[in-house]
Structure 1
Amino acid sequence: MSPANAAMQDGTDTEQTSGNWSWWPSWRPTSMSLLKSAEAKILACLQNNVWSRFVTLPNQNRIWTLKVTNKSARKHKDQAAQTPLVMVHGFGGGVGLWIRNLDALSCSRTVYAFDLLGFGRSSRPSFPSDASLAEEQFITSIEQWRQSLGLERMILLGHSLGGYLATSYTIQYPERVSHLILVDAWGFPERPQPQLQGSGGQGSEVKRVSPPRWVKALASVFSFFNPLAVIRAAGPWGPGLVNRFRPDFKRKFEDLFDDDTMTQYIYHCNAQDPSGEVGFKAMSESLGWAKRPMVQRVLLLPPSMPVSMLYGALSWVDSSTGNTVTQIRGKSPTSVTLIEDASHHVYADQPEEFNRVVESICNNVD
């Protein structure tokens, strides 16, 4: 049995429970089984072959994993020779959000997508409150996942938080990454320092307007809670909250689903125990800046490591960070691509263009 087959356990394994209090599920209408059902409905749209399994790590934590390959048997041998693409979702996401991309990107090579530790259907262990230790726990789980599957090298793609973690992973294990693709990556820029009026010079470079006092007050209050605590605290009103505050998720996938499938999926991903959320909070400053900005560490990437940075032209993530990274890396291969009419979820807003750009990058690898 190959390492990959040995590591990928049957997806019908006993589901993990989502809480310790017997009354909690009746108040909060979610469970791992409901998440599994919502995800199954999404993945039913895929045309290519999909293997979905739990990958068990040495510490018995489990990473929920998809492996997508081209249906054509003739091409299967060719695919095996190509460097696989590994896709890492962002904060609060899961493998289901790649539904517009998995078929297209798996035509010429194997594609893996997994739920980060603490998110989606993966195990939800406790995370330390120290930023570097929380980050290390994520990175260790990714490396153990890779080892369990026996992947020698990969093209590593990360969105948002996934981009931050993919960069950290590549710094530690550069020999395992052929190309790093960062999609609207979170946590790169340093937090701008407040500028005094009339300071001139450098002050003029900081374009971001200081948030109103009430926003700062709210941020201060919410800093005591996990980012998505309100969804869980809302109990039976939680699914409605997701629909109300994130109607864009329904719109992005409305040609695939004419109901609340995607917002239900988002709800069930985030109404479980807040494990990865705790890890993210440990790595974050208030208002979402990273405590350990990745821009301070990109020089630790090998000079020969190709890095492609993709941004949505309408995103809240500042694409000028890509230019900063390019300058820092000097002659190292770094490219920045702006995708028009796309917001933060580039892969869902403009899937055809996103898939075209990513496939072109992959084809340059092999």
Structure 2
Amino acid sequence: MSGTLTLPNADGVVNATATVEPQSMDIVELPKNNGFWQCLFNWTSSSPTMLRAVEKKILSYLKLPYRGYFVDIGPAVGDTDKIWTVSMNTDSKEVPLVLLHGLGAGVALWVMNLDSFAKDRPVHAMDVLGFGRSSRPAFGKDALVCEKQFVKSVEEWRREMNINDMILLGHSMGGFIASSYALSYPERVRHLILADPWGFPEKPPDSQTTKQIPLWLRAIARVLTPLNPLWALRAAGPFGQWVVQKTRPDIMRKFQSTIEEDINLLPQYIHQCNAQQPSGESAFHSMMQSFGWAKHPMIHRIKDVRSDIPITFIYGSRSWIDSSSGEKIKSQRDTNMVDIKIVTGAGHHVYADKPDVFNRYVNETCDIYKLSGGHLPSPKPARSSSPSVHIIREATESDDEHELPNLNTAESVEIKAEAPESATTTTTVHRTEEETPVTPTVQLADGKRK
């Protein structure tokens, strides 16, 4: 039998009807021992099934309930595109926070952030079109065309979700997309939060690039530039997960205090996210030049974001991303509504390296709207002198913070190591995962956690 639920939008207002259907597929039991030969025999062509299973296990460590569902956005890029979305605290009437991940990632990598973000406001994390469990259409080949297609997919998703306006947070590639979205749809963005955003500065001369990027990576880049960034995971076939485990053990270690029962979940998830058709990855390849830079840098355009939209940059002090772009943008803006925060000890994946500090900065930014009654702060007069950058450094934090899980292969040039920390306890809650989309409603499949 199927039941009927009312699906509240980000403002807590019912806008659609959702039908709960019997579970459409069994949860795949993931192997406990993921050695070389185990990986060979457990890898199958049904990557979407494995991806669903491993994502579900990672998200089971959340303390607050969540809902996962597909949002049918129609022919945004392909014939019928669907965006996989995880939502929390949708009854809240606060301005919703929307999360866009980076290259090769997915919603589950926000596992150390979602509970904190959703405590006081609605939160929606999506698998960007072409990544994770979302549709994987064929993007264009031109850099600007791909950028516009990403932006269109976000806008169509917003329209289907009946979200009027939002605080938009993007990490790395997601920060690039979020910035482009704010340029195209400024009336929908209350605040733009850019976490170590990719694609902002101009590509420096080769002499400067040589100083910043290790020799081994430059050599690899020359050979692999014609290929998609994460091609190696797919080329490894049944050994892809094993390759992630052996070459990137830091990934498991950095999430260990949250995912204490099975540290192999992260390499499983990253492998399954990137073992499928490289749709979004190919679009990223079209937009990039030499891995670390965009063909059309955002530094030349973001100054045109509407002047009443505040921008907050959050950089990791040990990231390969150049934080000077934030300083330049601060000087270009006519108002003083640009904030720059630098988290000491964090790398490119600042949201996972120092989650407590990152969560606090994001929540403080979102709380602006509680204190101001939901309105933007009044712009300050333009500065006549060089900008003073608001830099906040955290020298010491609690023992459960982690360091440097460089999860996006093409966007990382350094690997750091740190001893594992102690595990933390979690609270078991009931949650619902939903599937099968229908426009303009969302059809769901029951998947309560046992």
Aligned to 2:287: 283
Secondary structure at the residue paired with 1:62? strand
Give yes or no for the alignment of 1:40 onto 2:44. Answer: no
Show CA shifts across 1:306-344 (max 9, x none).
000000111111112211111121424001000111111
Corresponding letter in the other structure for 1:52? G
Q: Is the alpha carbon distance of 1:314 and 1:9 closer, same or farther for their aligned partners in structure 2, counting shifts above 3 Å? A: farther
Give yes or no for the alignment of 1:126 onto 2:133. Answer: no
Secondary structure at the residue paired with 1:126? coil
Task: Please tell me whether the aligned partners of residues 8 and 149 of structure 1 are also in contact (alpha carbons under 8 angstroms).
Answer: no
> Alpha-carbon deviation of 1:67?
0.7
Question: How far, CA to CA, are the matches of 2:16 and 2:346 in structure 1?
Answer: 40
* Residues 332-341 or 110-119, more deviating: 332-341
TM-score normalized by the length of structure 2: 0.71
> Alpha-carbon deviation of 1:365?
2.1
Task: Please tell me whether the aligned partners of residues 74 and 82 of structure 2 are also in contact (alpha carbons under 8 angstroms).
Answer: no
Corresponding letter in the other structure for 2:254? K
Alignment of 1:70-219 (within 5 A): 76=91, 79-80=92-93, 82-194=94-206, 209=211, 215-219=217-221
Secondary structure at the residue paired with 1:155? strand
* Residues 238-247 or 110-119, more deviating: 238-247
Q: How many residues align?
A: 339
Identity, in percent, stands at: 43
Question: How far, CA to CA, are the matches of 1:120 and 1:327 in structure 2?
Answer: 37
Task: Please tell me whether the aligned partners of residues 132 and 273 of structure 2 are also in contact (alpha carbons under 8 angstroms).
Answer: yes
Task: Please tell me whether the aligned partners of residues 127 and 134 of structure 2 are also in contact (alpha carbons under 8 angstroms).
Answer: yes
Aligned to 1:339: 343
Aligned to 2:374: none
Alignment of 1:19-38 (within 5 A): 31-38=47-54
What are structure 1's unaligned runs of at least 5 residues? 16-24, 71-75, 196-205
Task: Please tell me whether the aligned partners of residues 51 and 272 of structure 2 are also in contact (alpha carbons under 8 angstroms).
Answer: yes
1:68 to 88, 91, 116: 88
Question: How far, CA to CA, are the matches of 2:7 and 2:50 in structure 1?
Answer: 32
Task: Please tell me whether the aligned partners of residues 317 and 344 of structure 1 are also in contact (alpha carbons under 8 angstroms).
Answer: yes
Give yes or no for the alignment of 1:226 onto 2:228. Answer: yes
> Alpha-carbon deviation of 1:232?
0.5
> Alpha-carbon deviation of 1:213?
7.3
Give yes or no for the alignment of 1:322 onto 2:345. Answer: no
Question: How far, CA to CA, are the matches of 1:7 and 1:280 in structure 2?
Answer: 35
Show CA shifts across 1:193-248 (max 9, x none).
246xxxxxxxxxx5862757775453232122111111111112111111122222
Aligned to 1:255: 257
Question: How far, CA to CA, are the matches of 2:219 and 2:201 in structure 1?
Answer: 23
Aligned to 1:6: 16
> Alpha-carbon deviation of 1:257?
2.5
Relative to its length, the structure with more helix (as a share) is: 1
Q: Is the alpha carbon distance of 1:288 and 1:120 closer, same or farther for their aligned partners in structure 2, counting shifts above 3 Å? A: same
CA-based RMSD of the aligned residues comes to 2.4
Question: How far, CA to CA, are the matches of 1:235 and 1:28 in structure 2?
Answer: 10
Show CA shifts across 1:128-152 (max 9, x none).
1100001111100000000000000
Aligned to 2:296: 292
> Alpha-carbon deviation of 1:288?
2.3
Aligned to 2:269: 265
> Alpha-carbon deviation of 1:266?
0.8
Show CA shifts across 1:77-132 (max 9, x none).
xx22x100001111100000000111111111010000000000000001111000
Aligned to 1:351: 355
